[in-house]
Structures are given as structure tokens and as C-alpha cells.
Structure 1
Amino acid sequence: MAVATSVKLENELKVRVQNLATARRRTSHWIMHEAIAQYVEREEKREAFREETLKAWEEFQQTGLQASAEDVEKWLSSWGSENELPAPKCRP
């Protein structure tokens, strides 16, 4: 269920939204809704990536396990080839 809310925009931005809406044959509401939806989705992904990174860092600090850059580069370079390598093993 959609719920109404309000957003205060500087006049210049409001005019830009209206101009874009006219050019796209959409309403200003649609443009703002789409912009907010895309922003929230992008930021949720960014936050999930940040949390995953922090978790990986904590795990590394506890275990000391890592894959060398050289091993990872070899593995990535083999992707899509007939001799694709398995993912490198982590080691202390």
C-alpha cells in the first residue's frame, strides 16, 4: 500500500524534475519515485557489500587465512578457458 509523504526540493531541482518528466512523458511523481527507488536499492547493495567486507576482515583477523594476489590473478585469468582453474585455497 502506497503512503503519501512530502519532500522539500529547492526550486531549481523541482524545475529540473518537471523538465525531465515532460521530456520523458511521465509525471514528476513518477520521476521522483523512480529516483528514490533506484537510490535505495543501490545503497542497500552498498551497505550489504560493506557488511560483507567487515565480516571478511574480522574472519581474516581471527584465522589469518588468505589467498595470494598471484594465485587469485592466475585463477581469474583462467576463467572461460578450457583450462579453468579451481578457486585458490586460503592459507595462513
Structure 2
Amino acid sequence: MATSLKIDEELKGRIQHLADLRHRSAHWIMCEAIKEYVVREEARESFKQEAVRAWESYKANGRHLTLEEADAWLAQLEAGKDAELPECHE
């Protein structure tokens, strides 16, 4: 799929400078930048959708962990312990 992209001269110069430093083509630099952007934005959207699902689940059943419960569990994981996720409750 051929796609054209219009960018201003200042950005075009920056891309070319980076391409020269990396011994790559400007096309390669732009493709890499687009790939990284898409991966990052897909991950951000996935995180957002997971949060929406969690909120909907909480509204439907009221099950949750308190901040203290979650914090204690995370502290155990951070300390390298193999801690089980606490049971959610109402």
C-alpha cells in the first residue's frame, strides 16, 4: 500500500539528519516511528478498555479490593515473594 505523507521542511531535515547519523534511509526512520507510535497507542487503548471493563464489572457486582489490600499484595510482589492475589469482596 503506497501512502504519501506531507511534512514540513524543518521536520524533514531532522528526519534526514537522524537517518544520516543512523546510516538508514529517511523512509526507514519514518516507518519505525510510525510502528512505535501504533504499538504504544494500541497498548494505551488496551489499557483503557481493560479499565472500562473493570469499572463495568465493579458497577455490576460491587466486588473489589481496598487500597490497603492491593498495596499489601503489591508490596509482597515487589519484595520478590510469590503472593496470591487477594480475593475480591463486596
> Under a length normalisation based on structure 1, what TM-score does the superposition of the two structures give?
0.90
Name stretches of at least 5 consecutive residues in structure 1 with no aligned partner: none
Q: Where does 1:60-79 land on structure 2 (aligned, <5 Å)? A: 60-79=58-77
Q: How big is the shift at 1:73?
A: 1.2
Runs of 4+ in 1 over 4 A off after TM superposition: none
Structure 2 alignment gaps of length 5 or more: none
1:55 counterpart letter in structure 2: R
Number of residue-to-residue matches in the alignment:
88
TM-score normalised by length of structure 2: 0.92
Q: For 2:15 and 2:30, how far apart are their aligned partners in 1?
A: 8
Q: Partner amino acid for 1:70?
A: E
Partner of 2:56: 58
Alignment of 1:11-90 (within 5 A): 11-79=9-77, 80-81=80-81, 84-90=82-88
Taking the aligned partners of 1:23 and 1:85, their CA distance within structure 2 comes to 47
